[in-house]
Amino acid sequence: MTVWKWLTGTLAALVAVVCAVIISTFTPPVVFFPVYALASAVLLFLGALWLVLALIGWFEYHSLRWTAVAPAIVIVTAALVLLSVPSKGAFAVSQGALETVAQDCTKSTDTRRIGAYAVRSVRPTDSGCLFFIVGGLIDSIGLAYLPDGAPYLGEPRRDGDIGYERYDGDWYRFVQQF
């Protein structure tokens, strides 16, 4: 039974690592899809291994307690993602630093960390400041500080356009279509 417990514990640790990666992909204002897709595929593979270990635990040892850890981690991860905790938490931690940079809003193309975000560029606009955050699949994503409101709410209409969505107060999420 100790080998089964060790395998089940190792599987739970691997599930926890993959779930942490999934949570980190939901930190930017828009999901970092390539990493999310890869982590989800790994999680599906680990789920198949979990099923084998759960069946062995039930039929061989009449125990499911050890195998309940991995699904509990997945359920907690799903709840955090559904409640937008990673995104809201990252913004709450970063808002002060973002507002400080937004006050001057000097154009910058150097990738740097501002709060919880890896910002690849900062661009001033007529009505505020755009923070292009590392992420997105093809399109650029980010947060915009626009105290006078967004010029356009909705999806980008053509290549190069930016579509804004209200996020929090004077802050908007945006996607710039490639």
Per-residue pLDDT of 82-115, as tens digits, reads 999 999 999 999 999 999 999 989 998 888 999 9
- Mean pLDDT in residue range 120-125: 93
141 and 159 share a domain?
A: yes
51 and 100 share a domain?
A: no
The residue among 51, 83, 115 that closes a domain is 83
- Residue 135 pLDDT exceeds 80: no
| pLDDT at res. 67 | 86
Among the ranges given (3-17, 70-84, 157-171), the one the predictor scored with the smallest mean pLDDT = 157-171
The residue among 83, 112, 139 that closes a domain is 83
- Mean pLDDT in residue range 141-149: 91
| pLDDT at res. 100 | 93
Report which of residues 95 and 64 the model is more confident about: 95
Domain count of the fold of the chain: 2
Half-sphere exposure of 99 (CA within 13 A, CB side): 11
91 and 144 share a domain?
A: yes
11 and 56 share a domain?
A: yes
The residue among 66, 83, 100 that closes a domain is 83
CA dihedral (107, 110, 115, 118) in degrees, to 10, reads 120
Nearest to 108 by CA among 117, 121, 99, 126: 121
150 and 168 share a domain?
A: yes
74 and 140 share a domain?
A: no
Domain that holds residue 128: 87-176
149 and 98 share a domain?
A: yes
Please state the pTM of the whole predicted model: 0.81
| pLDDT at res. 1 | 58
* C-alpha–C-alpha distance, residues 134 and 30, integer Å: 10
34 and 102 share a domain?
A: no
- Mean pLDDT in residue range 149-166: 80
20 and 49 share a domain?
A: yes
CA 56 to each of CA 1, 9, 71, 145: distance values in angstroms, whole numbers, following the listed order: 10, 14, 16, 54
97 and 53 share a domain?
A: no
Per-residue pLDDT of 10-53, as tens digits, reads 999 999 999 999 999 888 877 778 888 999 999 999 999 999 99
